[in-house]
Structure 1
């Protein structure tokens, strides 16, 4: 189902800070909302970093800067704008500016010809739909799912946004209950939260990632002594709303019992047999990055991520690598263990290569098989990272770039 693919791309992209013990958003002005689950979910997933303090202001119109941060925080696959990329004169420094520059660099929410981003400019409902549609194009998920009837006020929709609104309508992503789209009205924070909640959250009961992680880490600390020690033999990542503990060999003696005792929602935790540990991924990423940089030059390297689900290292490159580099990757890291994808360009299918397999393929039907797992690997995946992995990746990349 296409919506499940969209959910996979927009699933929360990081293991969150364990210092947070409550999933409820701290906002005191949510009484007017019939359902606050969307706001709580986005707060829990650290997507609402642009809202500080205790006021959410649900009726406040979203700004361009707000939307850039909401999309960048929610998405798992928008790369940080590279050094030297065009930036805008009115974009602040720090994480907010990084989000604006990054979504602009991918053509999802671009700046203006005057060299400014205009982060304080309000976003209309049709403009919001246009941005979301371009993000779906970026992920090659913008084909309509079904034919839909026009909205009652379709005549007031600008032609430039008509297709975007129809596609979102066909996917049941942004569908007003009264059949009036109101394209020129401002997109409120409350409505934006509902749309992103539907994109990020699968059907069913809401699972607090923060609470589950906190409880699981408590059990891991009790059994292994610390999370870093556990990472020598295992991994931890979100697969949808399931927190997976991938463990090499058998789990420690009392881990299952500690999880039953400490985790309130035990159905949200799963132990799986894994071929690689967190430490293994860090070492293999280092080898893979150095191999590409040594053979292709630093200019072709974009980034690296561990794909815990399919037990691969995913390297993003600017253009396909040579057969010699693929062979060297297979030699250094392992046959089928490294997947290379060209950097996403809106509306274009990336080219995918797998070390040890000489064929390259474009499009979302690409599959590959690792030597050890023998599992089919679809290109559509959601790589979920914890803070330790993020730090490790940053350290490795900084070392390579020196």
Structure 2
């Protein structure tokens, strides 16, 4: 079960394209932060990068929902890759902060269209037209797809550093040093375009199967329609609290390692690496589990994530922090895989794509919001003379964030009338 289905040529093409473009995405993300710092000389402006990544999810989700339910999935992904390639070429051309922000914002909006189209196509790539894969196979496929993204973080960071070093050696100065990085990023989108172009049609088709209880979602349905769908409303609270945990740890991770663990940059790098190890463990865990109650998986893994975050802040132990990083990575990835798989199995046709648009919008919006709020909270607590529990500001932020994540798991509830019987779209 699972492995043979993942060996389908079309799915392999998706993985190749996603691995290469994810590598470019992370390389471009690091370049964007350094470019903004060089243009502004302000760490506050670098924080604006988070806002740029937040706004598309809040403002662009309605537009993305209309596009991804009206166009065919393969066409959406190919168009998104071509548009993002052009934007990545244009981004470093002018040494203006607002020019950079504008193009970074636009790239995020287009990415919000690409991701749900990709995830809606995964069941078709591993199951085939008219044949839904079993839960275990679908979870494994989602895990492998997710791994192609997060697994590229160290490679993207390393290549960014190498290209920057090469630019310096060639005598490129100022913002011109970043041109090569963003243009390589643009080239990775073209590789993804070529890979997707070789795939068969991915629908949606007339007659594609969907649940009877999804409200009869039609092409062109809006974002609010997704929020009213029972299965979407059931899983989104879990994804929101997962993103809260990820955002909080991302934002205060550096001050926590520096001020509490006294481990320095090498220690922080070790925590990030162990998070990656944990993510792989999470993927393998869903493989061993082979199906079952997906909403239960989301609840349990989200609660575990919250407990780990709170314990990291309360114990302030280097040994526990390293162990916790692995557990955190495993729990977070398993929860995300469970949420995506639940939507893929529960929805079909335009409803599936629309539900996954809401999934990615909430995840990205929550991640950026949590990172921003946690960072501000850490700064404000750092100005106080006496803190509750007598802990460091970063530790207190982690404790509170972990408890909020745990409480948020009670919002994940099965729809009152969950009907997963499949019927044909009209």
Q: Which has the higher strand share?
A: 1
Name the TM-score, length of structure 1 as normaliser. 0.32
More contact order relative to length (CA 8 Å, sep ≥ 6) = 2
Name the TM-score, length of structure 2 as normaliser. 0.31
